[in-house]
C-alpha cells in the first residue's frame, strides 16, 4: 500500500458523536442509522443508572455498580466518562479502538462533557448536536415520558448549558422538528464525512 493510500484509509476511520437532550427520540434515530449503515458500530455505554422498565442489559446499556465503574476508571477502561443527572456514564475505549481497526465507523450517543473528551482524544471525531425545536416542546416531551416535575426542571436547566456547548463546539447542530427529516440529515452528514 502506498503512503497516499494509507492516509486515505486512515481518514476513513470516523467517529460520530451524537448528543441529544432527553426526549428527542434518540433510540429511533440510532436504530434508523444502524439499518442504513452496515459498517456503523454503535457503542453501548456503561452506566450506574438503574435500568428503566423496558431496558435490557448489554443492549441499551451495560448496567454496573458505582464500585465497578470506579474500578474501570482506575483501569483506564473508558475513552470518556462523565456524571450526568447524578449517575455515571462511560464509553469503552477498546470498543472504539477495535472497531476503528476493523475499518468501521463508530457511533456514540453521549452528553456534551463526554463529546468534548472524545474530540480531544480523537480530533477526527464529528460532533453532532440535536436540539429540540423549543424549550416548551422539550418540556412537553419530558412530561409525556412521565418524568417528575423536579426531574424536568433539572433536565431543562442542564440542557440550557448543553445548548451553549452545542452552539460553540459542535460540528453540526440539527433542530429536531420532524424525526424523519432529522434522520435524513444525519444520514447525509455521515455519508459526507465517511469518505473524507
CB of 82 to ligand 5GP, least distance (A): 4
Taking the C-alpha atoms of residue 101 and residue 78, their distance in angstroms, rounded to an integer, is: 17
* 128 within 8 A of 19, measured Cβ to Cβ: yes
Question: For the chain, how far is it from start to end, CA to CA, in angstroms?
Answer: 18
What's the rounded Cα separation, in Å, for the pair 23 and 34?
20
| Edge-to-edge order in the sheet of strand 78-84 | 62-63, 46-47, 87-92, 78-84
Nearer to ligand 5GP, 111 or 190 (CB): 111
Q: Which is closer to ligand 5GP, CB of 12 or CB of 49?
A: 49
Across the strands, what pairs with 83? 88
- The residues in 85-114 that bind ligand 5GP, with binding defined as CB under 6 A, are 85, 89-91, 109-111, 113-114
* Contact status: 193 vs ligand 5GP (CB under 6 A): no
Answer for which of 17, 82, 106, 128 binds ligand 5GP (CB under 6 A) is 82
Gap between the Cα atoms of 152 and 116, Å rounded: 25
Q: How near is the Cβ of 140 to ligand 5GP at its closest, in Å?
A: 17
Tell me the pairing of strands 87-92 and 46-47: antiparallel
CB nearer to ligand 5GP: give 109 or 193. Answer: 109
Minimum distance, C-beta of residue 108 to ligand 5GP, in the bound complex (Å): 7
Comparing CB distances to ligand 5GP, the nearer of 37 and 114 is: 114
CA quadruple 94, 98, 186, 125: dihedral sign: positive
**SS3 call for 131:** strand
Q: Which of residues 9-68 bind ligand 5GP (CB under 6 A)?
A: 22, 45, 49
Cβ-closest position to ligand 5GP: 114
**Count of residues of this chain found to bind ligand 5GP when the rule CB under 6 A is applied:** 15
Binding site for ligand 5GP (CB under 6 A): 22, 45, 49, 80, 82, 84-85, 89-91, 109-111, 113-114
Amino acid at each position: 500500500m502506498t503512503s497516499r493510500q494509507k492516509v486515505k484509509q486512515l481518514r476513513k476511520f470516523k467517529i460520530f458523536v451524537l448528543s441529544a437532550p432527553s426526549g428527542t427520540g434518540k433510540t429511533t434515530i440510532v436504530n434508523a442509522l444502524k439499518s442504513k449503515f452496515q459498517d456503523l458500530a454503535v457503542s453501548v455505554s456503561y452506566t450506574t443508572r438503574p435500568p428503566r422498565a423496558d431496558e435490557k442489559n448489554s443492549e441499551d446499556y451495560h448496567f454496573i455498580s458505582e464500585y465497578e465503574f470506579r474500578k474501570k476508571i482506575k483501569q483506564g477502561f473508558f475513552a470518556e466518562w462523565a456524571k450526568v443527572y447524578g449517575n455515571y456514564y462511560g464509553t469503552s475505549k477498546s470498543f472504539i479502538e477495535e472497531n476503528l481497526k476493523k475499518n468501521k465507523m463508530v457511533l456514540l450517543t453521549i452528553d456534551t462533557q463526554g463529546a468534548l473528551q472524545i474530540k480531544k482524544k480523537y480530533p477526527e471525531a464529528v460532533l453532532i448536536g440535536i436540539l429540540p425545536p423549543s424549550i416548551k416542546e422539550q418540556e412537553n416531551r419530558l412530561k409525556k415520558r412521565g418524568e417528575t416535575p423536579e426531574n424536568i426542571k433539572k433536565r431543562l436547566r442542564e440542557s440550557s448549558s448543553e445548548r451553549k456547548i452545542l452552539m460553540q463546539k459542535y460540528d453540526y447542530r440539527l433542530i429536531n422538528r420532524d424525526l424523519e427529516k432529522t434522520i435524513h440529515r444525519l444520514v447525509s452528514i455521515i455519508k459526507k464525512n465517511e469518505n473524507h
